[in-house]
Amino acid sequence: MAIKNSPLLLKKIKAELFTYHYKEKLQETYKAALAQYAKSQPKSQASEFKTFLLTPFLMMGQWVKGLSVGQTMLLLSFTAASVLAGINMVFTGNRLYNDHMTALRAPASVEDEVTYDRPDYYKKQSRHLEISSLRLPVYIADVNELRTIDVDFSATMSNRFSRMKLEKMEFQLRDHLILNVEPMVAAFPLEEEGKEILREKLTMEIHDFMFENKIEGEVKDLKLIYILAN
């Protein structure tokens, strides 16, 4: 029966909601609240501003006065829960905001450091130093006679400035390499092990030359292009 009567009950509630005189009931509650206030304060003359401030509280008190004990307890419980929930939301939001700002804010005494390394191929072609026909002394095996080898090599410098400086001082660099690269057996530079030793010697002597002439930079890579024993 209850399920069958549900449409009729809903229709009745809907009709009551649309026909209820909200404005009149509100005015009646307002007048009753003022009358109750005037009755409790017979000698006071409330100003219009004071009446305006007290009106919501008076109306609320008049409305609560008409509730039962159970309804009043339920209202107070709901109000207390709402207030506590609102306070919790405020504190939680404030904590999250502070944590977020702390993570974003860097200490004022520490400067932000941006680590950036240029790739190895950065303007590599402009850092190439090529030396050709460098004649170095060698020894002939089993013969106590000094001969030479001709070497072509390419060195990749750490910056263009060092390459340009070495190019301007090419003749001084050649003399330095000829005088400081120790002679070796003529056939040895033609082997893989000999090539590696010769490459390391040339790299070391170029570094020494740059240090003596106060040239900033270093040899990043050195490749032997051509070797001919005379």
With 0.85 as the threshold, say if the pTM is over it: no
pLDDT at 36 over 70: no
The CA distance from 175 to 177, in Å, is 5
199 vs 48 pLDDT, higher one:
199
Average pLDDT over every residue of 78-107? 77
Q: Which of 196, 171, 177, 187 is nearest to 230 (CA)?
A: 187
CATH class of the region 125-229: alpha beta
- Per-domain residue ranges for the chain? 22-38+47-65, 125-229
The CA distance from 191 to 164, in Å, is 32
Residue 66 half-sphere exposure toward CB, CA atoms < 13 A: 8
74 vs 50 pLDDT, higher one:
74
Q: Which of 224, 220, 175, 172 is nearest to 196 (CA)?
A: 224
Contact 225, 153 (CB under 8 A): yes
Burial letters for 77-96: b for 16+ Cβ neighbours within 10 Å, e otherwise?
eeeeeeeeeeeeeeeeeeee
pLDDT at 2 over 50: no
